[in-house]
Amino acid sequence: QPLMVETILSDAVERFTIPAEQKNIDITFRSHDLLPKIYGDRDQLDQVLDNLISNAVKYTPEGRSITVSARRRSDGFVVVAVSDRGIGIPQKDLEMIFERFYRVDKARSRNMGGTGLGLAIAKEIVEAHGGTITMDSRYGWGTTVRFTLPPCEPEVIR
C-alpha cells in the first residue's frame, strides 16, 4: 500500500517535539515539492526517522535547530534530509559511520549512552527499500544525513 512521505516525516517530527523542547531545540519539517508516494514498511521507515532524529537531538547543544526536509529529485526519487547545527563529526570518521558499533570518539560517546547501531540499522532499512543513505558533516558545525526512496511505479491506466 502506497505511503505518504509527508505523513511519515511530520509524524516523526511530532514524536520528537517534546524531547527537543527539553533542550530548547526547534525541529521543523519542510517539504519543497509535491512528493510522490512510496512503497515501504511504515514501522521500518519510522525506525529510520527515529534513529536519525534522535541522533540529531542527542548531538546538538541546547538552543540550536534541527530541520527535516524532503524534495523530489529529477529521477522521481524522494530525498529526505535530517540536518542539525550540532557538534558534527570529524572527516576521518565519516567513512566508517554507518558500520555497526562505530562511534565517534569513545569518550564523548560514553557520556551520551547508546550502542552505535542506530545508523547501521537505518542504512539496512533504507537499502532494503531501494534507497541510499549518506552523511555530510563538519566537525563543530553540524551534520546532514540524506536518504532516498524510490517512488511508486506510475499506475497503469486502462
Per CB under 5 A, which of residues 123..142 are in contact with Mg ion? none
Q: Map residue 18 onto helix, strand or coil.
A: helix
Spatial distance between the Cα atoms of 146 and 69, rounded to a whole number of angstroms: 9
Give contact residues for ligand ATP (rule: CB under 6 A). Answer: 51, 55-56, 59, 84, 86-89, 97, 102-104, 109, 114-120, 143
Q: Kindly tell me which of 33 and 105 has the beta carbon lying closer to Mg ion.
A: 105
Angle at which helix 118-128 crosses helix 42-58, to 10 degrees, equals: 150
Choose among ligand ATP, Mg ion, none what residue 143 binds, the Cβ cut-off being 5 to 8 Å by kind.
ligand ATP
Cell digits for 50?
527515529
Spatial distance between the Cα atoms of 99 and 118, rounded to a whole number of angstroms: 10
The one among 118, 131, 142, 151 contacting Mg ion by CB under 5 A: 118
Choose among Mg ion, ligand ATP, none what residue 89 binds, the Cβ cut-off being 5 to 8 Å by kind.
ligand ATP
CB of 51 to Mg ion, least distance (A): 6
Q: Map residue 11 onto helix, strand or coil.
A: helix
Choose among ligand ATP, Mg ion, none what residue 87 binds, the Cβ cut-off being 5 to 8 Å by kind.
ligand ATP
CB of 62 to ligand ATP, least distance (A): 15
CB of 68 to Mg ion, least distance (A): 16
DSSP secondary structure letters along 43-99: HHHHHHHHHHHHHHHHTS-TT-EEEEEEEE-TTS-EEEEEEE-SS---HHHHTTTTS
> Which chain residues interact with Mg ion by CB under 5 A?
55, 118
